[in-house]
């Protein structure tokens, strides 16, 4: 039975209360991180770019050689139905992350008595952390670079959104040990900026926007949205090798992610970015305004309405 205030999830063919979802302990994602996922979000209780996120999910599945048993169209339909089943639980100024999570599943073991082997699939909604992150839109993100390098594409493609986030988690833990409010952005194997946990980085210098080459990062849907907006606004944007010298001397730095959309960075390794006291540079502001127009919703104001000075700013 689903309680009146309880979210539902979709698990292996059935909608059910979240508390009833059970993943076997021999699931390959639990044992090896062998699986992938994707996430979109809503704006004003309306889902954004479900199709694009699901298409990226299926590119990850193809790379991992996992067949979920049905195609992107059905995944989109199920995702939208799940959102509708949970929409009524949203407060007037809240929104959801919506995730599709797929593991390779459980290989049969003699005597396991399981009814289901093969991929385990979970679709779920969870509230976005507005209160915890609201201060980032007033103060800017503090970016810090850990000693751990991003897994190189020669070892494992960073372009898949897999369940194995240990590289990014270990790097983030190192940064949080020094500053719990900082966000980790890793260098790639060549010493250039790459990405962080669920986040892409952009720098602006003399009106030109630069972002790391796609080969070395997960090509975020929000990243691509900003690239498209920049070009529609007549701004020059290039993929490039960006090192710390470029970041320290940038006029502006900003981060994109599904939850944050676009958020200014105020410091990189303690170095203040842009003019003293500047949080929102003109290019960052212009792109954020264009993003709000695209989704027909002011998500910057939404974050600011949740502002609580006592809430720590944490990336996850």
When pLDDT is averaged across residues 277-304 and rounded to a whole number, the result is 96
Alpha-carbon distance values, 105 to 19, 24, 71, 121 (Å): 20, 9, 18, 9
pLDDT in tens, 203-230: 999 999 999 999 999 999 999 999 999 9
Total of domains in the chain: 2
Alpha-carbon distance values, 46 to 49, 174, 204, 296, 302 (Å): 10, 36, 31, 10, 14
End residue of a domain, out of 93, 128, 163: 128
End residue of a domain, out of 67, 100, 128: 128
When pLDDT is averaged across residues 260-266 and rounded to a whole number, the result is 97
pLDDT in tens, 88-109: 999 999 999 999 999 999 988 8
pLDDT of residue 2: 62
User: What's 264's domain CATH number?
Assistant: 3.20.10.10
247 has pLDDT over 60: yes
pLDDT of residue 116: 85
Examine the domain organization and report whether 173 and 262 are in the same domain: yes
52 has pLDDT over 50: yes
pLDDT of residue 114: 84
What is the pTM assigned to this prediction? 0.92
Alpha-carbon distance values, 219 to 44, 45, 148, 258 (Å): 25, 25, 20, 12
End residue of a domain, out of 128, 152, 173: 128
pLDDT in tens, 178-190: 999 999 999 999 9
């Amino acid at each position: 039975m689903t309680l009146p205030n309880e979210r539902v999830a979709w698990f292996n063919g059935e909608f059910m209360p979240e508390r009833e979802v059970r993943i076997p302990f021999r699931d390959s994602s639990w044992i090896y991180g062998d699986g992938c996922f994707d996430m979109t979000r809503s704006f004003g209780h309306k889902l954004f770019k479900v199709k694009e996120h699901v298409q990226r999910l299926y590119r990850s599945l193809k790379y991992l050689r996992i067949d979920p048993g049905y195609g992107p169209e059905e995944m989109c339909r199920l995702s939208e139905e799940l959102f509708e089943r949970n929409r009524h639980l949203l407060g007037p100024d809240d929104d959801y992350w919506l995730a599709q999570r797929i593991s390779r599943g459980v290989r049969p073991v003699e005597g396991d008595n399981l009814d289901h082997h093969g991929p385990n699939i979970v679709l779920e909604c969870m509230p976005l952390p507005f209160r915890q992150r609201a201060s980032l839109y007033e103060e800017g993100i503090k970016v810090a670079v850990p000693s751990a390098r991003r897994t190189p594409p020669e070892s494992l493609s960073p372009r898949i959104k897999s369940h194995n986030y240990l590289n990014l988690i270990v790097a983030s833990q190192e940064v949080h040990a020094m500053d719990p409010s900082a966000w980790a952005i890793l260098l790639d194997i060549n010493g250039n900026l790459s990405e962080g946990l669920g986040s892409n980085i952009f720098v602006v210098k003399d009106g030109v926007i630069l972002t790391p080459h796609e080969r070395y990062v997960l090509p975020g849907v929000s990243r691509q949205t900003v690239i498209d907006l920049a070009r529609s606004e007549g701004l020059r944007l290039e993929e490039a090798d960006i090192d710390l010298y470029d970041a320290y001397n940038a006029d502006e730095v900003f981060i994109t992610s599904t939850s944050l959309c676009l958020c200014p960075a105020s410091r990189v390794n303690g170095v203040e970015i842009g003019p003293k006291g500047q949080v929102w540079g003109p290019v960052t502001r212009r792109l954020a305004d264009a993003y709000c127009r695209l989704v027909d919703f002011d998500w910057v104001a939404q974050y600011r309405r949740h502002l609580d000075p006592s809430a720590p700013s944490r990336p996850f």
